[in-house]
């Protein structure tokens, strides 16, 4: 008997016919295994499919006892089949019984077979089952046969993914592909969202598996590969790639993979075996993923992401780019799933349909998270490998309270969550009742609870949240959602609209805070090695005065006859604010000369975000009308710990004694100078940290609108004077082991304060 297969391309052609013929699912599977056995000259061909309960069930067999089909099953890791599933690697044995993992299943009658070749059935790197061929003789399967069986396994992967096999098991257990999956991450934005997965960077789903012309497909692959290689080389030559740093590392890795001979050869082999160029890319990527995902080394796993990105680029090159982010999902209730994303990218989605955001990376103060919070969308982050487990359109629940995500939830869980949503709505109603109550502590201290905003649509929440005004209007958000730089007239109209919406409530605009991670697609910025500490915010504005001047002009005209409060981000030295004041003064003179009505009053403030200002507080307070503490940036610079850095997200608490002592110094100075201070970082929106701020003496805070209700409820139950007696000594006591968090939670628990 010849051990030479007839050629996988013949088999693939045959399988294509079988897939297209109208068969019931079991019949189709039976024909497929018989055809594979015939083609590979094997006496046995069997398919094991992974069920949601972790068992690999024999779904079809040619050559084993038919009675064993849907009866025999193995656990993951059990026997040869279980070993293949766990390791996601092929096993090629000429004496199967001698392998230590061999386990004899008497009902199958397989004891007479010696040669064994099994390969995992993979899809996007996930194991969905195992495909096996066996022979009585002690033959050794050649590499080409292993490759052929792996290629064939792809067809079975697609068949499983169609859901067609879902109801075949008499036990009624669902398949692993549709298994519910709960993952724990960290809660980044409060709320609960139910919806369907929208992959931010959708995997290109390859549906065209079989090729007609090997040569044509090889040329398609080579052309696409050259285009990708060229695009990477062009990036390098553009001079935009820094000499060193993470960005360069990623691109270097891309370049290395793109030129990797082994990778190219394996893809061409897969084409020679009968796959289309795109299916070949997918097959080889499946193998890579399976191999690399088992490595515990985080560096290698990170490289896997790079490799995935590259394979995706290649796939897009081959099958076109029409896989737009939300194209695949029609209807509402979108939950965006991404490894990470920029704030601008989130704003590209229709916010009316957004129900949640799941990010594998991202930290509490990442801008994308802040924007999501402003939009009132629950966010859960730091969930490794979530993206590869999620399929476009899968039902999903995002629990931004507990920090967990449920993928493909069972019905009872969905019902439980629907209840939870109702409960939260009830609590929200309670907060709404507080809306018109004065923001006063239990011991009678008035506090100004303001909200942060950035888009006109946010201003509706001025009414619903109960905020007494806007403490921070991030003007850059409007710039980030525009395709082109907003013109003067457009800006003026926008600011007028914002002021109209605010009515007599105070409104504080912040001048453009771009640069760093806030990039405007139409404005060329530098590719900096350390963008957070780079040419951003006021630094960029002073160097590009035309941009700042046109914004100031738009604001002055929009605020004609009204109050204008304006603040400047990332001030580092007092002279910067003086220069802005000069620029404003000149603009006022010019506009007055042209006969334009000017604001009735104008107040200029500085954001305190850079620690250098802490040693210029006297000068600063004399130079400005008010100060706004941007605790997000101030914390990252004081702790030398990037606000978006996942590995440092929980290391340095904003409730640390050092940080709170510093905040106290600011408030003490402001009392001395009678300079009003507001704090507008994310810590103002968490009831427990807001408690600390009130005890330090802060009387004005600005937060995301959704936080106003909970903070007000806390405030109304809080005796600030009593808390001060506990907190202030604790802050000074360096020997005391109790953390500030413990002091606060103890106090809140004792006094029934909701936090």
Closest to Mg ion by CB, 361 vs 609, is 609
CB of 530 to ligand PEP, least distance (A): 16
CB of 635 to ligand PEP, least distance (A): 8
3-state percent breakdown (helix, strand, coil) of the chain, nearest 5: 50, 15, 35
Residue 680 contact among Mg ion, ligand PEP, none, beta carbon within 5 to 8 Å by kind: ligand PEP
Residue 681 contact among Mg ion, ligand PEP, none, beta carbon within 5 to 8 Å by kind: ligand PEP
* Token pair recorded at residue 702: 């600005």
CB of 280 to ligand PEP, least distance (A): 45
Element (H, E) at 420: helix 411-434
Closest to Mg ion by CB, 30 vs 633, is 633
CB of 680 to ligand PEP, least distance (A): 5
Contact 248, 241 (CB under 8 A): yes
Residue 587 contact among ligand PEP, Mg ion, none, beta carbon within 5 to 8 Å by kind: none
Residue 697 contact among ligand PEP, Mg ion, none, beta carbon within 5 to 8 Å by kind: none
CB of 361 to ligand PEP, least distance (A): 18
**Residue 125 to residue 122: CA distance in whole angstroms:** 6
Contact 599, 559 (CB under 8 A): yes
Neighbour tally for 172: CB within 10 Å: 6
Q: Which residues form the interface with ligand PEP (CB under 6 A)?
A: 370, 472, 474, 513, 609, 630-633, 680-681
CB of 583 to Mg ion, least distance (A): 21
Closest CA to 379 of 316, 335, 342, 344: 335
Closest to Mg ion by CB, 441 vs 628, is 628
Q: Which residue is nearest to Mg ion (CB)?
A: 633
* Token pair recorded at residue 546: 């035309």
Residue 462 contact among Mg ion, ligand PEP, none, beta carbon within 5 to 8 Å by kind: none
Residue 474 contact among ligand PEP, Mg ion, none, beta carbon within 5 to 8 Å by kind: ligand PEP
Residues 12-40: b if buried by 16+ CB within 10 A, e if exposed: bebbbebbeeeeebeebbbbbbbbbbebb
| Helix (H/G/I), strand (E/B), else coil: 623 | helix
Using only the alpha carbons of the chain, give its radius of gyration.
31
**Residue 65 to residue 621: CA distance in whole angstroms:** 87
Spatial neighbors of 574 by CB under 8 A, at least 6 apart, are 616, 619, 620, 623
Closest to Mg ion by CB, 151 vs 511, is 511
Closest to Mg ion by CB, 476 vs 609, is 609
215, burial (CB in 10 Å: exposed 0-12, middle 13-18, buried 19+) = exposed
Closest to ligand PEP by CB, 197 vs 368, is 368
Residue 151 contact among Mg ion, ligand PEP, none, beta carbon within 5 to 8 Å by kind: none
CB of 657 to ligand PEP, least distance (A): 20
Closest to Mg ion by CB, 120 vs 630, is 630
The contact pattern for Mg ion, residues 603-642, with x = CB under 5 A and - = no contact, is ------x--------------------x--x---------
The three-state (H, E, C) secondary structure of 550-607, written as one string: HHHHHHHHHCCCCEEEEEECCCCCHHHHHHHHHHHHHHHHHHHHCCCCCCCEEEEEEE
Closest CA to 418 of 395, 434, 436: 395
CB of 629 to ligand PEP, least distance (A): 7
The 8-class DSSP code of residue 201 comes to: S
The 8-class DSSP code of residue 615 comes to: G
515 touches Mg ion by CB under 5 A: no
Instruction: Give the binding-site size for Mg ion (rule: CB under 5 A).
Output: 3
Closest to ligand PEP by CB, 147 vs 609, is 609
Contact 185, 362 (CB under 8 A): no
Closest to ligand PEP by CB, 600 vs 665, is 665
413, burial (CB in 10 Å: exposed 0-12, middle 13-18, buried 19+) = middle
Residue 704 contact among ligand PEP, Mg ion, none, beta carbon within 5 to 8 Å by kind: none
Closest to Mg ion by CB, 378 vs 630, is 630
Closest CA to 663 of 611, 591, 603: 611
Residue 538 contact among ligand PEP, Mg ion, none, beta carbon within 5 to 8 Å by kind: none
Question: Which stretches of the chain bind Mg ion, using CB under 5 A?
Answer: 609, 630, 633
């Amino acid at each position: 008997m010849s051990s030479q297969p007839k050629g996988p391309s013949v088999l693939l052609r045959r399988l294509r016919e079988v897939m297209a013929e109208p068969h019931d699912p079991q019949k189709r599977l039976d024909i497929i295994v018989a055809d594979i056995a015939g083609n590979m000259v094997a006496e046995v061909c069997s398919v094991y499919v992974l069920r949601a309960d972790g068992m690999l069930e024999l779904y079809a067999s040619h050559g084993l006892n038919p009675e064993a089909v849907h009866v025999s099953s193995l656990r993951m890791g059990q026997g040869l089949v279980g070993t293949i599933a766990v390791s996601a690697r092929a096993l090629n044995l000429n004496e199967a019984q001698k392998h230590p993992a061999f386990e004899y299943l008497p009902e199958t009658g397989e004891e007479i077979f010696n040669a064994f070749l099994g390969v995992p059935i993979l899809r996007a790197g996930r194991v969905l089952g195992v495909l096996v061929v066996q022979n009585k003789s002690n033959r050794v399967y050649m590499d080409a046969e292993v490759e052929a069986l792996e290629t064939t396994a792809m067809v079975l992967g697609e068949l499983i993914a169609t859901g067609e096999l879902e109801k075949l098991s008499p036990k009624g257990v669902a398949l692993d592909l549709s298994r519910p999956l709960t993952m724990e991450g960290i809660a980044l934005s409060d709320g609960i969202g139910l919806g369907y997965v929208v992959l931010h960077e959708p995997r290109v789903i390859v549906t065209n598996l079989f090729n007609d012309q090997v040569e044509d497909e090889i040329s398609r692959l080579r052309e696409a590969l050259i285009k990708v290689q060229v695009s990477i080389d062009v990036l390098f030559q553009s001079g935009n790639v820094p000499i060193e740093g993470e960005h360069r590392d990623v691109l270097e890795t891309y370049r290395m993979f793109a030129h990797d001979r082994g990778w190219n050869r394996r893809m061409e082999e897969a084409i020679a075996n009968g796959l289309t160029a795109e299916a070949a890319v997918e097959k080889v990527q499946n193998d890579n993923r399976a191999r690399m995902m088992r490595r515990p080394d985080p560096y290698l796993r990170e490289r896997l992401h790079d490799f995935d990105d590259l394979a995706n680029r290649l796939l897009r090159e081959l099958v076109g780019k029409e896989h737009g982010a939300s194209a695949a999902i029609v209807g509402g209730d979108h939950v965006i799933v991404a490894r990470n994303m920029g704030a601008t990218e989130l704003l590209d989605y229709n916010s009316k349909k957004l129900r949640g955001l799941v990010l594998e990376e991202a930290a509490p103060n990442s801008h994308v998270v802040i924007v999501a919070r402003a939009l009132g969308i629950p966010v859960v982050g730091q969930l490794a490998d979530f993206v590869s487990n999620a399929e476009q359109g899968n039902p999903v629940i995002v629990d931004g309270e507990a920090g967990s995500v449920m993928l493909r939830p069972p019905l009872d869980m969905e019902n439980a969550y629907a209840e939870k949503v109702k409960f939260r709505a009830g609590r929200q109603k309670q907060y709404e009742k507080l809306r018109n109550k004065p923001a006063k502590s239990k011991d009678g201290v008035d506090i100004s609870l303001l909200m942060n905003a950035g888009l006109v649509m946010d201003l509706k929440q001025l009414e619903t949240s109960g905020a007494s005004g806007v403490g921070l209007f991030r003007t850059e958000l409007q710039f980030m959602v525009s395709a082109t730089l907003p013109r003067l007239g457009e800006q003026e109209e926008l600011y007028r609209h914002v002021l109209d919406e605010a009515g007599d409530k105070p409104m504080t605009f912040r001048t453009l805070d771009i640069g760093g991670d806030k990039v405007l697609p139409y404005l060329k910025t530098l590719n900096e090695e350390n963008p957070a500490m780079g040419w951003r915010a006021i630094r960029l504005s002073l160097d590009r005065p035309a941009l700042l001047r046109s914004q100031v002009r738009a604001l002055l005209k929009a605020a004609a006859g009204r109050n204008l409060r304006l603040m400047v981000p990332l001030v580092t030295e007092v002279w910067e604010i003086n220069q802005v004041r000069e620029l404003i003064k000149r603009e006022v003179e010019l506009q007055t000369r042209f006969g334009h009505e000017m604001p009735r009053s104008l107040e200029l403030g500085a954001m305190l975000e850079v620690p250098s200002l802490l040693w210029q507080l006297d000068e600063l307070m004399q130079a400005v009308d008010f100060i706004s503490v941007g605790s997000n940036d101030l914390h990252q610079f004081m702790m030398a710990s990037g606000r978006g850095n996942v590995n440092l997200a929980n290391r340095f608490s904003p409730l640390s004694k050092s940080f709170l002592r510093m905040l106290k110094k600011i408030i003490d100075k402001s009392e001395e100078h009678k300079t009003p201070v507001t704090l507008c970082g994310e810590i103002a929106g968490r009831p427990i940290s807001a408690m600390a701020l009130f005890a330090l003496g802060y009387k004005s805070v600005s937060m995301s609108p959704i936080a106003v209700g909970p903070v007000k409820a806390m405030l109304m139950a809080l005796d600030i004077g009593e808390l001060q007696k506990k907190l202030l000594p604790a802050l000074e006591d360096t020997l005391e082991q109790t953390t500030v968090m413990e002091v606060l939670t103890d106090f809140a628990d004792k006094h029934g304060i909701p936090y």
